[in-house]
Amino acid sequence: MPAKEIAYLGPVGTYSHLIAEKRFGSKVRLVPMATIHDICLYTSGKESRYGIVPIENSSGGAIYETVDILLANKPKVHIIEELTLNVKLALLGHKNEKIQKLYSHFAPLEHCSGWIRKNLPRVTKQVVTSTAVAALRVADESNSAALGCRKLASYYDLKVLKYPIESEVPNITTFLVISGKKRSPIKPSKITVAVRLPNEPGSLCTFLEYFRDQNVNLSRLISRPIRGSHKQYAFLVDLEGNTGQANVKRALALAKKTCVQIRVLGNYPTGRKYTS
């Protein structure tokens, strides 16, 4: 990949930072951003910049900030790869201290609620904006701990008190690598399209039937209201395959006839999987 700068959802030590490091290594400049919109804006139209944004969590569902940006095409970006991270959480803190307050993002606190009830029944839970912020708080505070990535311990001079922490359900986060310019990835296996359909009975059913009839599997369908339009919705749709396949071409061509608008956001590979 020609990118020299990779924007991710910061600060340093987040799971977005971790997967950026795992995917791109040390030969690129990793740039922390405050929001997903900032990542897309930083990447849009730039030849040498890529971004990494979360799109879905296995227990929390779709990340709607990402979905809405892709559907609106503002800022304009292209999907070039999908990555998955199996999130394993650690308890981070100071040795030989009684834990009275536990910091984390809301998702880890929810994922590990059973373990927390069993092992830290009297702890006060404090929700913060990211697991990295949680570690930063604990670094300057006694009798506290954070749930987050093991690597945060080295960034904020903390100890790994317990790893892995048992979670209620598997915690898999899916990320998209985005580019400001359209690319031609090697061995693409998924297509994402943004779709607007006429507001009339059967329009969604007709759209879906074209893919069924051409034996094209749809792996994700997300509907979102169109801002400023009453009872109007746009759809983010993931298809298995690539745009060079005859059946995919036929299905897209037929579907286009029923759409107010259809736009391909990317045709990209999906195979890379990591563990925190």
Q: What is the pLDDT along the chain (276 residues), one digit of tens a residue?
A: 566 899 999 888 889 999 999 999 878 999 999 999 999 999 998 988 999 999 998 877 899 999 999 999 999 999 999 999 998 999 999 999 999 999 998 888 988 999 999 999 999 999 998 899 999 999 999 999 999 999 999 999 999 999 999 877 788 999 999 999 888 888 999 999 999 999 888 999 999 999 999 999 999 999 998 876 777 889 999 999 999 999 999 999 999 999 999 999 999 999 899 998
In 3D space, the residue among 95, 80, 112, 114 whose CA is nearest the CA of residue 2 turns out to be 80
Q: How far apart are CA 8 and CA 3, in angstroms?
A: 13
| Cα Rg, the chain, nearest whole Å | 21
Q: How many CB atoms are closer than 10 A to CB 78? A: 22
Closest CA to 101 of 112, 93, 110, 89: 93
Q: Does domain 5-86+172-183 have CATH number 3.40.190.10?
A: yes
Distances (CA, A) of 165 to 3, 56, 138, 161, 230: 35, 21, 18, 10, 45
Q: Give CATH superfamily name and number for 190-268.
A: ACT domain (3.30.70.260)
- Same topology between domain 5-86+172-183 and domain 190-268: no
CATH number 3.40.190.10 is the correct assignment for the domain at 90-162 = yes
Integer Cα distance of 77 and 193 in angstroms = 13
Domain residue spans of the chain = 5-86+172-183, 90-162, 190-268
Tell me, letter by letter, the H, E, C secondary structure of 82-133. Answer: EEEEECCCEEEECCCCCCCEEEECHHHHHHCHHHHHHHCCCCEEEECCCHHH
- Write down the residue that tokens 């109007």 correspond to: 232
